[in-house]
Amino acid sequence: MASSTKLFATVCLLALLSCSVQGQLSTTFYARSCKNVEQIVRSVVAQALKKEARMGASIVRLFFHDCFVQGCDASILLDAAPGIATEKNAFGNINSARGFEVIDAIKQQVERACKATVSCADILALAARDSVSLLGGPNWAMPLGRRDSRTANLGEANQLPAPFFSLSQLNASFAAKGLNFQDLTVLSGAHTVGSAICSAFKNRVWGGDSNIETSFALQSRQTCPTSGGDTQLSPLTIPNTNRFSNQFYKNLVARRGLLHSDQELFNGGFTDALVRKYSNDAKSFFNDFSVSMAKLGNIGVLTGRSGEVRLNCRKVN
């Protein structure tokens, strides 16, 4: 491994280019083996978003939940099987994680073009990148070359950050993955799109939190009664456009974060200054978001001969 890394670094130097490498990933990984992969992924994602804009949000979240558990190895895509305790049953995923059919549809088309070549983990990374840019957010070159796990980890999936977390718990959860408080603050900006179920914010809007603007609390209660209605949806950011923007941060400054964990990012702590900055500067939000998404995509990746390229994203080969 060390010698192939050295060789790669040498080739990059010889090419007199910044090879835009993240760890051992490369933005040109499939340039020869599957040159149309990015085009295929983008067109299937575009079709899915035309049907339902929220699907873009769901795919971005799927990528986050993949990368935070065992690294970005498509472990979240595995269905239950002997020896596989599916991550789909984790607290943060059950009745919540969605977009699996879109990933299947992409995989099918990619397999038709390039047999047994492109990993499910890379497909998910590209689909997340394309979801962001097709929803009006930034676009960036996504480093590729991830391979797929042969295992899932339900126990670790059950430790994904939860909506009742404090700022220090959120910070610790990200730090454990090599991400800092800027990554935490800027990646949470993904909550500019998508929705949450009532049970994720009930306590906050019914008096559990004092740092909530009154009219927003009253409005949020309408889709989230004190008893029942647990699966009713509210947009994470209002107005609900499902378009990428810095509105999430503007809402936090106005104490209109829907989740307790979101409002923790602007509650007198060490992330306040960044929230304020992004609320005033959409461009720096977009720039920093791109950088942190690539960083998220680099967590615990399997490369080289580790793992496998799954033929069906839902099961190991």
User: Catalytic site residues?
Assistant: 65
User: Which tokens belong to 46?
Assistant: 């575009």
**Residues of span 242-261 touching ligand HEM by CB under 6 A:** 259, 261
Among residues 108, 168, 280, 317, the one that binds ligand NAG under rule CB under 6 A: 168
Contact of 70 with 157, CB cutoff 8 Å: no
Dihedral of the alpha carbons of 162, 89, 153, 24, in degrees to the nearest 10: -70
Considering only the stretches 122-130, 147-155, 174-182, 239-247, report the one whose residues sit in contact with ligand NAG under the rule CB under 6 A.
Answer: 174-182
166 counts as binding ligand NAG under rule CB under 6 A? no
Separation CA 253–CA 270 (nearest Å): 14
151: annotated binding-site residue? no
Phi, psi of 41 (to 5 degrees): -60, -50
Peptide linkage before 143 cis (omega within 30 of 0):
no
21: annotated binding-site residue? no
Please state whether beta strands 195-197 and 233-235 pair in parallel, antiparallel, or not at all (unpaired): antiparallel
270 counts as binding ligand NAG under rule CB under 6 A? yes
Contact of 49 with 135, CB cutoff 8 Å: yes
| Cα separations in angstroms, 49 against 97, 101, 162, 316 | 16, 13, 27, 28
| Least distance to ligand HEM, CB of residue 53, Å | 10
With CB cut-offs between 5 and 8 Å by kind, which of ligand HEM, ligand NAG, none does residue 119 bind? Answer: none
Among residues 25, 60, 77, 90, the one that binds ligand HEM under rule CB under 6 A: 60
95 counts as binding ligand NAG under rule CB under 6 A? no
Residues that bind ligand HEM (CB under 6 A): 54, 57-58, 60-61, 64, 96, 98, 161-163, 165, 170, 184, 187-188, 190-191, 193-197, 200, 236, 259, 261
Residues that bind ligand NAG (CB under 6 A): 168, 171, 175, 180-181, 270
Annotated binding site for heme b: 191
